[in-house]
A and B are shown apart, each in its own frame.
Chain A
């Protein structure tokens, strides 16, 4: 009649309390399933603690400082002093509120929270090691499991994050003073976001990139807008060079050594070197051998339309389940996994996943590009609206960039959209809705948009694609 120092049981075990994991846990608990969430570190995962949220806090702070000091045109003359330590405190306050909120939400929904690192014993149980030596461990048996272990920063040879001048995105968000000189390795979205932040805060930024351009996953006309703006902010780009090592220099700083494919070396002085070369999924702590589950060649756990792995009752969501590594993709997968476990007819059948990069200006995309639509067999039609033709954009002082819609010429269905410009991350939501709903160009063009707003660019782009634009020349 007793249960004591033994393994405990749960209907659903969720490993990892990031956006995929906590959402899965809460939804499973909402469906009446006994749910246990194991988190080794902080609730909220990378997104809340070391990614989306803290970086956006600093981006906002840096933007404000930069705007205030560059608004002479509007008659504003200011020379703001930035207290980096205070800005980081403010950012930490936001993070604490959000992560605390996640924990409270889990508890309020009846999710059992366990701190530790879970390792599979077999297909129906894990051992959870509590943090640190001698803290003990426990076993948890489960009927279904959701793996949501996320991803970690990729390390490159000779750049160890344990060494003080070498920082990753996490450390970059925790600096209590602004470095005078910063070398950023990698011109992907993390590298570009943080380069812009530090350039705006007055840092002398050099970006070193192996490839020959920034943001290689985006179309040229999009990345060009961002690169041009970064250059205007003073960012120096060195393409075709890979960082090979760093060494201390006599002036108290460091020297970052780079190498081209031909072996040609260059050196760049800096105070810190920020490595932002991407992220890799975390599967090595799970003990996957015990259940015979193997990550694919890229390290991800493969899943089907129901977020299931090869083992029917084991699910994977979020970064560990494959790209794109985006929190909102993880949210969706977490919900689907939980609902499938609860026996509901849920599935991952979304048409597109929007993505946003918080550079200056912002980039946001959803669905297909023109080339992708063509490759998929559609006859694409494209409509575009530049922000410099938008009244509202002019009144914000940000007129760089454009909004583009890609549609199927025959049916008018909107297949995708790309926006680079002010508030692109917000504006993309309308295009995402259009793609998801199967809306046509006519649907968007005929929807009255508020004037004067930035959102009008979406309507205008739709009209432009139909050759019916009023405020721009039709294509």
Chain B
């Protein structure tokens, strides 16, 4: 009787965690293999998790409702019978990384040997391993680091490899042979089929690969052989099926009893050649399309399942995502939109742009907007606040007396928000210089963490890329964020006339728990007033 752990498997494609919705068994229950033991809900589906063992439930290690990462042990079983154990362990560990399972097995040292179908490899390995131990004390294996690495790459337990080098040293070739031999054994052990021949053929396949013929011959081997009848071991047929290959199409020079005989290597080579051919075709198509059209169909159009690329959702991208999620699901967002005429602002900026350039400053609209925002915040301090929920029972609104404005900057690594401190105490030129410096360093990822902290209000300038209105997500725990559209001439009603006038669209998102819509509108009006009459900024 042994205790077996069961780790939450990857229940869907690439799912990292799941909610354990309900247990279908209790400790002490007898379960059979494939019997559902739990229901797990991922963002994709509600699925039943089957038991990998025949045995008794020992312990449930997760609560209902708990989010469990894939790979965490959720249940333990008491199981009987060695043969079962080995088979079950194999299945259970199928979800785990090969390395990990190998390490576990080495540690526990009680698996691997089994009976029944498909156990030839394990049996053989154990036997060799035992021999090895008898030869070298403490199971020490003499092999160069390069041979050890090769063994890990090929998932070969180096302890089980017979060394052919001086004194029995394990060489690269020994490892390679062991890896190939394992495939042979798989073939041999899987069914009655042409077992002897399968083993016999292995070596010729290896030598072909070593000679490099398979690559050179790929064009030829892509051509389907189109035979009526092909001999192959069941494992080879299964391999072909998995690769979606018709075994009758796999080219081979081998024959058995006058019939064409296909080895696993031949299948692998044919599959590889086909893949390469497909890729080459796709590449050629894409290039042709690109040549003929300005914006041709991309190579991605032909990618399987319509997925062009799988990008891991992690690192900075995930942090941004999590912050967005937290902000949006914590703070009820309301977005207030408005547009202001900025003819004078455009004139003022144009007038002083050259003067600023003489002082090596590239004058943008941003410092003017920042000053206008400070004016707005002074009149409506509630927008210059954060919500301190660190103690949920006694949450507080902290109204700030500093005017530190964060500027969202798009960088290759995602959006960064460097903060310009004490905006109220700086001149337009100072602000311009600082914004330019922070933005360029943010793009180069040279902005320090300190420079991204301490903000009280944030601006996001989506208009720089294009667009009028948007719904900015608040830089939580701040309570407001102003989005700027692009400044351009738009039709404006002036008396009874429609005139083309420079306008700036504004989108202000607020945390409605802290700020009312009326405050938002009043703040926006103040900001717009200053932007309409930039001379007012002199008073700031």
Contact = CB atoms under 8 A, between A and B. Distances in A.
Dominant SS among interface residues on chain A: loop
Contact of A350 (B103, B145, B413): B145
Interface in A1-49: 1-11, 33-34
Nearest to A116: B449
A3 B320 contact: yes
B414 A438 contact: no
B44 interface: no
B315 A378 contact: no
A376 B137 contact: yes
Contacts of A436: 144-145
Contacts of B445: 112
A149 to B, nearest CB: 21
A412 B478 CA distance: 72
Interface stretch (A206-214, A304-312, A457-465): A304-312
Interface in A77-99: none
Contact of A3 (B71, B142, B415): B415
B142 A306 contact: no
Contacts of B324: 1
A33 B417 CA distance: 22
Contacts of B99: 306, 340, 345, 347
B12 to A, nearest CB: 20
Contacts of B317: 9
Given A4-B458, A5-B475, A412-B166, A138 B316 contact: no
A349 B320 contact: no
Contacts of B100: 312
Interface residues of A, number: 44
Interface string B159-202: 00000011111100000000000000000000000000000000
A144 B315 CA distance: 10
Contact of A2 (B149, B167, B417, B454): B417
Contacts of B8: none
A443 interface: yes
B455 interface: yes
Given A306-B103, A377-B137, A413-B167, A4 B452 contact: yes
A443 B458 CA distance: 70
Given A306-B99, A347-B152, A377-B138, A6 B460 contact: no
Contact of A8 (B138, B140, B144, B316): B316
Nearest to B386: A5
Contacts of A437: 144-145
Contacts of B417: 2-5
Contacts of B143: 438
A36 to B, nearest CB: 10
Contacts of B506: none
A34 B316 CA distance: 8
A4 B455 contact: yes
A442 interface: yes
Interface in A316-355: 340, 345-347, 349-351
B408 A2 contact: yes
A3 B416 contact: yes
14 contacts: A1-B462, A3-B316, A3-B414, A3-B475, A10-B316, A11-B314, A138-B449, A305-B103, A340-B99, A347-B99, A377-B137, A436-B144, A437-B145, A440-B167
Given A1-B462, A376-B138, A438-B167, 13 more contacts: A1-B408, A2-B323, A3-B414, A4-B458, A4-B475, A5-B453, A33-B315, A143-B314, A304-B103, A306-B99, A346-B152, A408-B167, A437-B144
